[in-house]
Amino acid sequence: MNPFRWSYRATYLAGFVICVALLGYALYAEHVLNMIPCPLCIFQRIAFMVMAVFFLIGGLHAPRGGARWVYTGGVILGALGGIATAGRHLWLQTLPADQIPACGPNLGYMMDTFPFAKVLKMVFTGSGECAKIEPVFGLPMPAWTLMWYVLLVVAAVYAASRKRA
């Protein structure tokens, strides 16, 4: 079967499987490879979870016509959040050592202590642990996630825009 001729349903279910596999690898990296996730890593995981939910519901429902764009919109929103987070993460990793922000409290403590808006501001301001580079196959983890956000959103838009069921 030519993957460029997959149906909307097959494309969306494949997108769901890819998101789950990426989340599984993130857990493997955390628990087996001892790569402790920083707050930005956790937000990137949440973006993949949002995308996975919309991919799954879209794949199971497989609507026709304009209704496809509802699920595609959800995938796009999740991907845009992930792209912004991964981009910020990569930017922090490119800073010179003297410009890296100091390490802050962990995300669990921030969520328990501060209002959500302040937590977002603190996370996106960055901290020292987000600037640590741990390459996977030669690239930092946020570079891989950025690539997957772009590829998955392109697949979702392509599947939604096709006339074929």
pLDDT in tens, 18-39: 999 999 999 999 899 888 888 8
Tell me which of 5 and 94 has the higher pLDDT: 94
Decide which of 79 and 43 is more confident: 79
The number of CA neighbours under 13 Å toward the Cβ of 7 is 11
- Residue 90 confidence (pLDDT): 87
What's the rounded Cα separation, in Å, for the pair 11 and 19? 12
Structural element, H or E, at residue 10: helix 8-31
Contacts of 64 (CB under 8 A, 6+ apart): 165
Locate 59 and state its tokens: 């794949």
* Euclidean distance between CA atoms 30 and 48, whole angstroms: 16
Structural domain containing residue 132 = 3-161
Number of domains in the chain: 1
What's CA 132's distance to the chain center, in Å?
Answer: 19
* CATH code: domain of residue 147: 1.20.1550.10
Q: What is the pTM of this model?
A: 0.82
54-108 pLDDT, tens digit each = 999 999 998 888 889 999 999 999 999 999 999 988 888 887 777 666 656 666 7
